[in-house]
């Protein structure tokens, strides 16, 4: 299902969305935490990114698995297969951290919304959720870089040296 898009490997195309949406989610979530007076302007974008970022990470993982299977079927083995597996591990962790981040961000939005239907939570909940969001955000950005860099190294290697 995720193998090809317009004749090109789907993974190669969708990873660019991950590289944009995951760090953007982190950036806007941190802005939401750090700039409380702008929360009403940021909340819609943060919610949208909390949905889009994990979806793109999931599609990247699924398309990457399909691409990996294609490469194995073509006879890839040895060192290159080890690099592909390492890249896949980074991508899997990225998906998990991005999902956790999305859930924490949505919980933080609910906890700070002030909406009458939102449950009244203890005062310590928003600060704890803020720390969780920042921590998961750092992990998501780190694993976005690790997955992206390992994939680019496999493709481009020493091309520009």
Residue 161 domain-assigned?
no
**Interval 82-138: pLDDT, tens:** 888 899 999 999 999 999 999 999 999 999 988 888 788 889 999 999 999 999 999
CA distances from 3 to 8, 61, 63, 67, 117 (A): 8, 11, 6, 6, 43
Alpha-carbon distance of 7 to 62, in angstroms, equals 17
Residue range(s) defining the domain that contains residue 115: 4-156
Supply the angle between the helices 39-73 and 79-112 in degrees, to the nearest 10: 160
Backbone φ, ψ for residue 9 (5° rounding): -60, 125
Helix (H) or strand (E) holding 4: strand 4-5
pTM: 0.89
> What pLDDT is stored for residue 72 in this prediction?
84
Region 56-83: what's the mean pLDDT?
A: 87
> What pLDDT is stored for residue 110 in this prediction?
93
User: Hey, what are 156's tokens?
Assistant: 């481009």
Alpha-carbon distance of 55 to 124, in angstroms, equals 30
> What pLDDT is stored for residue 158 in this prediction?
63
How many domains, the chain? 1
**Interval 3-57: pLDDT, tens:** 667 777 778 888 999 999 999 999 999 999 999 999 999 999 999 999 999 999 9
Question: Which of 151, 158, 159, 154 lies closest to 16 in space, CA to CA?
Answer: 151
């Amino acid at each position: 299902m995720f193998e090809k898009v317009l004749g090109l490997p789907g993974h190669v195309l969708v990873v660019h969305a991950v590289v944009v949406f995951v760090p953007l989610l982190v950036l806007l979530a941190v802005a939401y935490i750090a700039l409380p007076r702008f929360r009403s302007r940021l909340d819609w974008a943060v919610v949208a990114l909390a949905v889009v970022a994990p979806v793109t990470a999931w599609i990247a993982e699924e398309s990457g698995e399909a691409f990996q299977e294609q490469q194995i079927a073509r006879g890839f083995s040895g060192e290159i297969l080890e690099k592909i597996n390492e890249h896949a591990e980074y991508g899997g962790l990225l998906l998990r951290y991005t999902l956790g981040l999305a859930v924490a961000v949505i919980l933080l939005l609910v906890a700070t919304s002030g909406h009458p239907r939102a449950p009244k939570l203890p005062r310590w909940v928003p600060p704890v959720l803020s720390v969780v969001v920042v921590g998961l955000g750092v992990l998501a950005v780190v694993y976005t870089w690790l997955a992206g860099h390992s994939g680019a190294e496999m493709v481009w290697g020493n091309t520009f040296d």
